[in-house]
Structure 1
């Protein structure tokens, strides 16, 4: 996509918060936030919020949680506003300065959360819940704090770890984001951003895809020393802290963070591994359609079929709103508002982060970043991110602490909305368009099941090796290739050894991968129940219960919320049922391809 085309796509609105990064009101609000953080520190000291501190009275709990909620409520729009500039132009010096200022003034919040966890972890939880309305409102937070407290270091060590994170793992993650967003490569005599090179993976011409792939690998190879240092820095810190906190392995802390237990992860991943031969049938069928014995990595995103629909951004927004409204007026109205009020920064451009995300803004509003290209896949991405925004809207009446949602559940609404769009496209498709839609569905599912599992295997192996020493770029490449071979099997001639450099997920939360698989399969399971409710004329009841689930993702764990729909997350049968939906799509795909 040319720069001119990118400029024609909508950009998100920011002036509803501040006129710009140099707005005096922004400066004043940052100063107010600094004062509120300092006041919160004073409250924690006065109340005795620390390990071995004073007992939690009703009044003390009200002051502490009320103060923290107030600070977090002020922080959300400030962080969103500054992020809106940092993520769309990494070269914006003032934006980087403001983000640095915000990071520094919120630095005490990490140690304060550690102190709160230690304090709550020592309380008589049942007595506290019986005495305090505030405690009952925050019961999930309190019970999770008890679990976290079992794995805390000494107060001094926790304080130091929290204060060092922005300049440690956080700094390495920032380096990866800023550095990788500015990388360019040489393609057929033209200098292109690496994100544009990766976008050529969807070109119908294999020669274009192959040359772009080769050019992309050269970019990552030239950047490998910097990015390997960043990954070693992030994983070294996380692994050291996990061991110091007494976790049995690097996966264990992620289970707490993502809100599931090991039995659930084992059941889900067992089902995933049993599905890999089915996905390899999909890859084999796609290879046949491309006229090849086996695919290469640059063929994974190759288009198949033909869409009679021109998936411009405008056409995509109309389709999304129409299909959302077919599910419910509330969801349709939400999408219409997001488009009308310019919540979305749609087009790719130099200095802008790749991929897509949704972030909170103010009072139930969100802002969505994406890099649109004219495809159903991009429209599905739009629906996916709007699902996150809808989730934010439903949680808006909760306090910030009661909105905190693990990533496993954070993907529920996004996958559900994506499924609405893809199923609608498939229902109306025939002939070549049917192949196009099935390919879009299965390409996405393969990424979230097959590729995500390779990322999990890679990350687990990196943690194990990194405990011994820094890993060289070649060792990271070798581990990445091994992990891809474990999941893709012999379906591919070539692999992508530098995916560890491509994906920002490795540089943020540990195991920022399997929650996507959870979200897909949990979302498909819920959507299947919606189909049953619709057939029985009970869709309104389902919609009410589903919205209540989304509004409650900060109030209970995944297993408890799933039980409301009769789902046992530890049962392999549930995960197999969701994967059976995908298996049916693979059979349909094979029938079309022949």
Structure 2
């Protein structure tokens, strides 16, 4: 049974009192920032009066944003730890409202800044040396000049920010708090209530009937709500397409990638490379079918581990194993990891109402917290090092960069996390000689690659297709979404959609479809991480130093430049082909072990 929040041991919860000591302190900070908003109007129309005014207004806006992020993080995480609590739903709503008001108040900034001439820009930088730290920030703004609207239009868009986010919020409440899953039988024949966490555990069951029961029960529930989920997703897609259109972008994808200064060819190269290598996935699934001894592989057979070796970890064992693997990154990196593990940066276990999944989050002035829903298995060990990768990236960036560059683009975010996963795989394969255990580790890697590269690219194709469909006037009904998703799933997995009818509803439960072209970066990130991990584990100290420099870079340079300095050129296809070469090499070893161990 999933515990209530107050039944979880405090040491296994994150310590949000390090952000604000009490809820009252948060409320006072909210009030203080709300009052400061009233001062913003005095700056309107004066941004380019002088170099000093540009500096003053820029620093004031960044300071307000910095305080806002801290307020938001507290409310967001308090809400995530139990989405049923009305108090923190209200906090979150207030934070979102203030965020929107802040955006609206400073909506004059970009239109006014775009009026600066090249001569005036150069003069300002020379006249006020303190502006020079913001030069890259200003340069990036100027690159988006064609997509900045008039001041009045910017005000209107900023004022609608909370409304634009309502579809995502509705999905989150429905999927984490309101939806009630039925009871199903577990491996011991006990009736257990499905939740997001329980479902994933049952999908790894050795008992096919348990897997089938959980799978069918979960998707039968989503089938009941398919029209509501379709409406929330359609609304979100319309919001992104509308924003892109009014800002003069070709498409929502163009707008999303341009925000990270990433050309759309990077996205298209990914899809093309993955589709070219789908035979590798089909080969792996055929092998999986043989090992399981079934002739009719179904989607609920894709997640169960193939190994009989109980290569699982308690949470405490996982912390130790993570520290051992990540020590290759140096003493300073390891000391940061130990701080995160010992100083309650992590919310470990599932509880009633807690947001599903896992993430790393925080702001410039907080710890780099992690949310987990821990289960004692190898997959969760990889989740731990994955989120730790994000948190260490945040730690290095915030410590090294001023606030204006003290974050990193989402394009770079998934690289640090999946580099850690690849390092862990290398470490485990390096220390384990036993064939059966190597089989388990390779199985985990192949499944991870399937889930991160193949699956997320499938998601990326689906996401782009629904945005294009809406842009072309198609109505995103549940029937349309079901068919599109089922067809794509059949192409990727090679499993008949007629034999797997439930999978057509899977789109409804994917929160990342509300993140606006986020998922493709899991795939590009994993591929880049594969190259970086090879350099870190088998390369020189210089390679490791360049990687740490990448972690420190934040937004001080363009994402693709940061990666080139780290040793990976993501505008070329080489890094993708190299990643698939690693997958094929490990698939070959896996096949050899299957034969050697007589498993098929």
TM-score exceeds 0.5: yes
- Post-superposition Cα deviations, 1:91-110, rounded to whole Å, max 9, x if no partner, equal 11110111122222222332
Corresponding residue number in structure 2 for 1:222: 224
Where does residue 78 of structure 2 map in the other structure?
85
For 2:125 and 2:306, the matched residues in 1 are separated by 57
SS of 1:246's partner is coil
2:107, 2:76 → 1: CA distance?
Answer: 25
Q: Deviations 1:186-221 (Å, cap 9, x if unpaired)?
A: 233654334423432111211111110000001111
> Quick one: distance in 1 between partners of 2:303 and 2:129?
52
Count of aligned pairs: 578
Q: Distance in 1 between matches of 2:496 and 2:307?
A: 21
Q: Which residue of 2 aligns with 1:51?
A: none
The two structures, once aligned, show a CA RMSD in angstroms of 2.4
Aligned to 2:146: 150
Q: 1:297-376 residue pairs with structure 2 within 5 A?
A: 297-361=299-363, 363=365, 365-376=367-378
1:141 to 134, 137, 142: 137
After TM superposition, the structure 1 stretch with the greater mean CA deviation from structure 2, 381-390 or 272-281, is 272-281
Over 3 Å counting, the alpha-carbon distance change for 1:45 and 1:589 in structure 2 is same
Q: 2:490 aligns with which of 477, 485, 489?
A: 485
Confirm whether residue 175 of structure 1 aligns to residue 170 of structure 2.
yes
3-state SS of the aligned residue for 1:349?
coil
Q: Residues 58-77 of structure 1: matches in 2 within 5 Å?
A: 58-77=51-70
Q: Deviations over 1:504-531 (max 9, x none)?
A: 1112x31121111111111111122223
- For structure 2, the residue ranges without an aligned partner over 5 or more in a row are 185-190, 596-600
By how many angstroms is 1:309 displaced? 4.1
**Matched-pair contact (CA < 8 Å) for 1:121–1:147:** no
Q: Distance in 2 between matches of 1:358 and 1:4?
A: 22
Q: 1:194 to 1:340 in 2, by over 3 A?
A: closer
Equivalent of 2:101 in 104, 108, 111: 108
Q: Is the 8 A contact 2:313 2:381 kept in 1?
A: yes
Matched, 1:504 2:507: no
- For residues 90 and 263 of structure 1, the distance between their equivalents in structure 2, rounded to whole angstroms, comes to 39
**Cα distance change of structure 1 residues 192 and 263 upon mapping to structure 2, 3 Å threshold:** closer
2:459 to 452, 455, 459: 455
1:137-187 deviation line (CA, Å, top 9, x unaligned): 23332222223231234432332122112123x111111111100222223
* Contact kept? 1:258, 1:515, Cα under 8 Å: no
SS of structure 2 residue aligned to 1:465: helix
Work out whether 1:570 is the aligned partner of 2:563. no
- Local SS of the residue matching 1:561: helix
Does the 8 Å CA contact 1:364/1:392 hold for their aligned counterparts? no
CA distance in 1: counterparts of 2:46 and 2:309, whole angstroms = 63
Instruction: Answer yes or no: is 1:530 the counterpart of 2:536.
Output: yes
- The CA distance in 2 between the partners of 1:78 and 1:547, in whole Å, is 29
Alpha carbons 1:184, 1:194 under 8 Å: kept = no
Alpha-carbon offset, residue 399 of structure 1: 2.9
Cα deviation, residue 358, structure 1: 0.7
Paired residues of 1:358 and 1:366 also in contact (CA < 8 A): yes
Deviations 1:55-112 (A, max 9, x none): 6x42122112211221122223322222221001111111011112222222233235
Corresponding position of 2:274: 272
| TM-score for the superposition, normalised by structure 2 | 0.90
- Kept after mapping to 2: 8 A contact 1:193/1:350: no
Q: Does 1:121 align with 2:114?
A: yes
